[in-house]
Amino acid sequence: MARAIDFYFDFSSPYGYFATARIDEIGRKHGVPVRWHPILLGAVFKITGAGPLPTLPLKGGYFTHDVPRSARALGLPFTLPARFPFGTVTACRAFYFVEKSDPAGAVRLARALYDAAFGKGRDICPVEAVVGIAAELGFDPDWVQAGIQAHETKELVKTEVDAAIGRQVFGSPFFFVDDEPFWGHDRLDQVDLWLEKGGW
Amino acid sequence: MARAIDFYFDFSSPYGYFATARIDEIGRKHGVPVRWHPILLGAVFKITGAGPLPTLPLKGGYFTHDVPRSARALGLPFTLPARFPFGTVTACRAFYFVEKSDPAGAVRLARALYDAAFGKGRDICPVEAVVGIAAELGFDPDWVQAGIQAHETKELVKTEVDAAIGRQVFGSPFFFVDDEPFWGHDRLDQVDLWLEKGGW
């Protein structure tokens, strides 16, 4: 029996956003918790030599087809923000700061950040944007803003990103069921099957 | 109404092999021909800066999980050849040489090469291996061997690879339905849907 699904993603990854449409349902179906881990793909790309999709030779043009097409296939609202790719360190910090005292609230915040960015095409890079989205969910804006800037939060993000790299996470979304790795929202069927069968 | 599915692949791509399990059925279902285009990913990687999956930092280890697991999920026989990745220029030349006079025979040869490589784990790099597999299908070995070595065949492969790069093909398998690009065997559901709906 698997103990959890670990769900790694970068807030600027549309494929990570796509995964949020199904991940909790898969967890519920199998009675396992989903542990959300926002990461900073920029740190990963320093190791792999990859980069954000739109910047890659040949791949960049494909991205503009595949992302909106996949969103439509999934029936998800989708708008690419004018600034893309965008920095996600503030969003990450807010997540881990909130998570310390309110894990379920942090997941609600992550969903709201993704919906703002890719559902509505809003810019979630600035501190004010992240704090504003948190405030819409009922979090105290001053508390969130202080949390984002706290040294301890920055260390927490670094620890999480290092841990992801330690687990060989190289893209977003990325999942583990126990130690079995799955890359891409298009592997969620296999995640589902793995939880059902305990491997195959 | 789409006119065809263009199916690009490298003979050393296990994901291309996976695609062969469904591609013809999808073509038949929608009454469109499948045009098989073996290519040389090495030429593509010179542009994208990528490389064979097992050689990439962080990604290499994932490959050893995802490929056999996906083969099992698809119910396909799978053995990774001892030499991997392997050169596929000879297999490519044999395909395009045979295709000139026998398009259906070339597809049978492509399937036989893939089945030998990934179904049985055989080394399909040497000329003798490719000629032997063609002979098993009833092709005259001397004819195939001469075709592989003909200057005209080499030019044909170069033309096809350049054409693929011109269409921004950057991985294997890669499909076009008319001009809509799809990357990965895990996009075959979208290829199917696109043919059904004419886009969405």
Enumerate the domain spans of chain B.
Answer: 5-76+83-197
What local confidence, expressed as pLDDT, does residue B2 receive? Answer: 62
Query: Once rounded to an integer, what is the mean pLDDT over residues B56-60?
Result: 78
Mean pLDDT (chain A) is: 94
Q: Does the structure show a pLDDT above 80 at A48?
A: no
Each residue's pLDDT tens digit, B129-183: 999 999 999 999 999 999 999 999 999 999 999 999 999 999 999 999 989 999 9
Each residue's pLDDT tens digit, B104-123: 999 999 999 999 999 999 99
Best of B168, B191, B196 to disrupt the A interface (most A CBs within 10 Å) is B168
CB atoms within 10 A of CB A123: 14
- Residue A123's DSSP bridge partners are none
Task: Indicate the CATH number for domain B5-76+83-197.
Answer: 3.40.30.10
- CB distance A66–B187 less than 8 Å? yes
User: DSSP letters of chain A?
Assistant: ----EEEEE-TT-HHHHHHHTTHHHHHHHHT--EEEEE--HHHHHHHH----GGGSTTHHHHHHHHHHHHHHHHT------SS-S---HHHHHHHHHHHHH-HHHHHHHHHHHHIIIIIS-----SHHHHHHHHHHTT--HHHHHHHHH-HHHHHHHHHHHHHHHHTT--SSSEEEETTEEEESGGGHHHHHHHHHHT--
Please identify which residue in the block is written with the tokens 């969405």.
Answer: B200
Predicted confidence band at B50 (pLDDT cuts at 50, 70, 90)? confident
Query: Once rounded to an integer, what is the mean pLDDT over residues A95-110?
Result: 98
Please identify which residue in the block is written with the tokens 């959890």.
Answer: A4
Q: Which of B61, B168, B183 sits opposite A168 (nearest CB)?
A: B61
What local confidence, expressed as pLDDT, does residue B1 receive? Answer: 57
Calpha distance A198→A195 (Å, rounded): 5
Give backbone dihedrals phi and psi of A79, rounded to 5 degrees, phi first. Answer: -140, 125
Calpha distance A39→A91 (Å, rounded): 10
- CB distance B57–A49 less than 8 Å? yes
Name chain B contacts of A183, Cβ cutoff 8 Å.
62, 66
**Max CA separation in chain B (angstroms):** 49
Q: How far is B91 from chain A (nearest CA, A)?
A: 25
Calpha distance A30→A79 (Å, rounded): 32
- Hey, is the C-beta of A75 within 8 angstroms of any chain B C-beta? no
Contacts of B40 (CB under 8 A, 6+ apart): B10, B88, B89, B92, B157, B161
Please identify which residue in the block is written with the tokens 């769900």.
Answer: A7
What local confidence, expressed as pLDDT, does residue A2 receive? Answer: 62
What local confidence, expressed as pLDDT, does residue B140 receive? Answer: 98
What local confidence, expressed as pLDDT, does residue A51 receive? Answer: 76
What local confidence, expressed as pLDDT, does residue A200 receive? Answer: 85
Class of domain A5-197: alpha beta
Q: How many CA atoms lie within 13 A of A105 on its CB side?
A: 17
Helix axes B89-101, B103-114, angle to 10 degrees: 150
Predicted confidence band at A1 (pLDDT cuts at 50, 70, 90)? low
Integer angstrom CA distances of residue A64 from A68, A81, B170, B187: 7, 13, 15, 15
- CB distance B48–A57 less than 8 Å? yes
What local confidence, expressed as pLDDT, does residue B198 receive? Answer: 86
- What ipTM was predicted for this assembly? 0.88
